[in-house]
Amino acid sequence: MAVLPDVLASGLDIVFCGSAVGPESFRQQAYYAHKRNKFWPTLFAVGLTPLLLAPREYRRVLEFGIGLTDLAKHRHGMDSVLAAADYDAEALERKLRRYRPRALAFVGKKPGAAFFRRRFQRDVTAFGQQPERIDATALFVLPSPSPANPANWDLGPWQALAAYLRK
Protein backbone atom coordinates (compact mmCIF):
# COMPACT_ATOMS: atom_id res chain seq x y z
CA MET A 1 0.00 0.00 0.00
CA ALA A 2 1.26 3.47 -0.86
CA VAL A 3 2.33 5.78 1.95
CA LEU A 4 0.18 8.54 0.43
CA PRO A 5 -2.19 8.00 -2.49
CA ASP A 6 -1.38 9.45 -5.88
CA VAL A 7 -3.42 12.45 -6.93
CA LEU A 8 -3.74 11.80 -10.65
CA ALA A 9 -6.28 12.16 -13.44
CA SER A 10 -6.20 12.22 -17.22
CA GLY A 11 -5.43 15.48 -18.98
CA LEU A 12 -3.51 17.26 -16.20
CA ASP A 13 -1.20 20.14 -17.03
CA ILE A 14 1.51 19.05 -14.62
CA VAL A 15 2.33 16.20 -12.27
CA PHE A 16 4.87 16.85 -9.51
CA CYS A 17 6.95 13.84 -8.48
CA GLY A 18 9.00 13.81 -5.29
CA SER A 19 11.38 11.18 -3.94
CA ALA A 20 9.19 9.88 -1.12
CA VAL A 21 6.90 11.19 1.57
CA GLY A 22 8.99 12.92 4.24
CA PRO A 23 8.63 12.30 7.97
CA GLU A 24 6.34 15.27 8.65
CA SER A 25 4.21 14.55 5.58
CA PHE A 26 3.90 10.94 6.75
CA ARG A 27 2.86 12.11 10.22
CA GLN A 28 0.25 14.50 8.80
CA GLN A 29 -0.70 12.24 5.87
CA ALA A 30 -0.38 15.19 3.48
CA TYR A 31 2.07 16.02 0.70
CA TYR A 32 4.79 18.63 1.43
CA ALA A 33 3.53 19.15 5.00
CA HIS A 34 6.67 20.43 6.75
CA LYS A 35 5.92 24.00 7.86
CA ARG A 36 9.11 25.29 6.20
CA ASN A 37 8.60 23.44 2.92
CA LYS A 38 8.22 25.96 0.09
CA PHE A 39 6.13 23.72 -2.21
CA TRP A 40 2.67 25.18 -1.56
CA PRO A 41 3.79 28.84 -1.37
CA THR A 42 5.78 28.33 -4.59
CA LEU A 43 2.79 26.94 -6.52
CA PHE A 44 0.91 30.06 -5.53
CA ALA A 45 3.82 32.47 -6.15
CA VAL A 46 4.41 31.25 -9.72
CA GLY A 47 0.70 31.26 -10.53
CA LEU A 48 0.02 27.52 -10.73
CA THR A 49 -2.69 27.84 -8.07
CA PRO A 50 -4.91 30.91 -7.61
CA LEU A 51 -4.78 30.55 -3.83
CA LEU A 52 -2.32 29.30 -1.25
CA LEU A 53 -3.28 25.73 -0.42
CA ALA A 54 -2.50 24.14 2.93
CA PRO A 55 -0.92 20.68 2.85
CA ARG A 56 -4.11 19.07 4.19
CA GLU A 57 -5.89 20.40 1.06
CA TYR A 58 -3.54 18.51 -1.27
CA ARG A 59 -6.37 16.71 -3.08
CA ARG A 60 -7.60 20.09 -4.37
CA VAL A 61 -4.66 20.32 -6.78
CA LEU A 62 -6.77 18.47 -9.35
CA GLU A 63 -8.99 21.57 -9.55
CA PHE A 64 -5.97 23.42 -10.96
CA GLY A 65 -4.76 20.76 -13.40
CA ILE A 66 -2.04 19.50 -11.04
CA GLY A 67 -1.21 15.97 -9.93
CA LEU A 68 1.05 14.57 -7.19
CA THR A 69 3.06 11.38 -6.85
CA ASP A 70 6.41 10.09 -5.57
CA LEU A 71 9.05 7.86 -7.12
CA ALA A 72 9.18 5.75 -3.94
CA LYS A 73 5.52 5.07 -3.13
CA HIS A 74 6.04 2.41 -0.46
CA ARG A 75 8.66 4.07 1.77
CA HIS A 76 8.76 7.30 3.68
CA GLY A 77 11.63 9.29 5.08
CA MET A 78 14.41 11.64 4.08
CA ASP A 79 16.23 11.03 0.79
CA SER A 80 19.27 9.86 2.76
CA VAL A 81 17.42 6.76 4.00
CA LEU A 82 16.13 5.69 0.58
CA ALA A 83 17.89 3.02 -1.48
CA ALA A 84 17.96 2.82 -5.27
CA ALA A 85 15.63 -0.18 -5.05
CA ASP A 86 12.96 2.01 -3.39
CA TYR A 87 12.52 4.05 -6.58
CA ASP A 88 10.10 2.62 -9.13
CA ALA A 89 10.83 4.39 -12.42
CA GLU A 90 8.82 1.82 -14.38
CA ALA A 91 5.68 2.46 -12.32
CA LEU A 92 6.07 6.21 -12.84
CA GLU A 93 6.45 5.73 -16.58
CA ARG A 94 3.30 3.60 -16.66
CA LYS A 95 1.42 6.39 -14.87
CA LEU A 96 2.68 8.95 -17.39
CA ARG A 97 1.59 6.79 -20.31
CA ARG A 98 -1.82 6.21 -18.72
CA TYR A 99 -2.64 9.78 -17.61
CA ARG A 100 -0.66 11.70 -20.27
CA PRO A 101 -0.03 15.00 -18.44
CA ARG A 102 1.47 17.87 -20.44
CA ALA A 103 4.47 17.89 -18.11
CA LEU A 104 6.05 16.02 -15.24
CA ALA A 105 8.32 17.88 -12.82
CA PHE A 106 10.65 16.11 -10.46
CA VAL A 107 10.72 18.00 -7.18
CA GLY A 108 14.45 17.82 -6.60
CA LYS A 109 17.47 16.36 -8.38
CA LYS A 110 17.43 13.12 -6.40
CA PRO A 111 14.17 11.75 -7.86
CA GLY A 112 15.02 13.20 -11.27
CA ALA A 113 18.45 11.58 -11.28
CA ALA A 114 17.03 8.22 -10.17
CA PHE A 115 14.46 8.27 -12.97
CA PHE A 116 16.81 9.49 -15.72
CA ARG A 117 19.52 6.95 -14.80
CA ARG A 118 17.00 4.11 -15.01
CA ARG A 119 15.05 5.30 -18.06
CA PHE A 120 17.63 7.20 -20.15
CA GLN A 121 20.97 5.97 -18.73
CA ARG A 122 22.16 9.47 -17.95
CA ASP A 123 22.60 11.77 -14.99
CA VAL A 124 20.73 15.00 -14.48
CA THR A 125 23.14 17.92 -14.38
CA ALA A 126 20.88 20.95 -14.67
CA PHE A 127 17.52 22.13 -13.41
CA GLY A 128 14.80 22.97 -15.91
CA GLN A 129 13.28 21.26 -18.91
CA GLN A 130 15.08 18.13 -20.02
CA PRO A 131 15.53 17.12 -23.69
CA GLU A 132 13.73 13.78 -23.29
CA ARG A 133 9.97 13.19 -23.24
CA ILE A 134 7.71 10.30 -22.34
CA ASP A 135 5.25 10.25 -25.22
CA ALA A 136 3.82 13.80 -25.21
CA THR A 137 4.88 14.56 -21.62
CA ALA A 138 7.66 17.13 -21.20
CA LEU A 139 10.07 16.41 -18.34
CA PHE A 140 11.43 18.97 -15.88
CA VAL A 141 13.74 18.84 -12.87
CA LEU A 142 13.15 21.51 -10.22
CA PRO A 143 15.08 22.59 -7.13
CA SER A 144 13.71 20.92 -4.04
CA PRO A 145 11.52 23.18 -1.86
CA SER A 146 12.43 21.07 1.18
CA PRO A 147 13.88 22.84 4.23
CA ALA A 148 16.50 20.06 4.25
CA ASN A 149 17.96 21.42 0.99
CA PRO A 150 18.14 25.24 1.31
CA ALA A 151 21.45 25.66 -0.55
CA ASN A 152 19.97 24.61 -3.90
CA TRP A 153 16.75 26.62 -3.69
CA ASP A 154 16.05 28.71 -6.80
CA LEU A 155 12.63 29.98 -7.85
CA GLY A 156 13.76 30.48 -11.48
CA PRO A 157 13.16 26.92 -12.75
CA TRP A 158 9.72 26.93 -11.12
CA GLN A 159 8.90 30.19 -12.91
CA ALA A 160 10.13 28.71 -16.21
CA LEU A 161 7.87 25.69 -15.68
CA ALA A 162 4.87 27.96 -15.03
CA ALA A 163 5.68 29.94 -18.21
CA TYR A 164 5.88 26.69 -20.21
CA LEU A 165 2.44 25.65 -18.91
CA ARG A 166 0.92 29.02 -19.84
CA LYS A 167 1.80 28.47 -23.54
CATH code for position 59:
3.40.470.10
Number of domains in the chain: 1
Span 116-137, average pLDDT: 93
In terms of residue numbers, what domain contains 47?
A: 14-166
- Gap between the Cα atoms of 86 and 20, Å rounded: 9
pLDDT at 21: 94
pLDDT band, residue 14 (cuts 50/70/90): very high
Q: Is residue 149 part of a domain?
A: yes
Span 111-139, average pLDDT: 93
Q: Is residue 67 part of a domain?
A: yes
Q: Is residue 106 part of a domain?
A: yes
pTM score, two decimals? 0.96
pLDDT at 155: 97
Q: Is residue 9 part of a domain?
A: no
Q: Is residue 112 part of a domain?
A: yes
Is 83 exposed, middle or buried (CB count within 10 Å of its CB: 0-12, 13-18, 19+)?
exposed
Q: How confident is the prediction for the chain on average, in pLDDT?
A: 95
Q: pLDDT of 142-163, one tens digit each?
A: 999 999 888 889 999 999 999 9
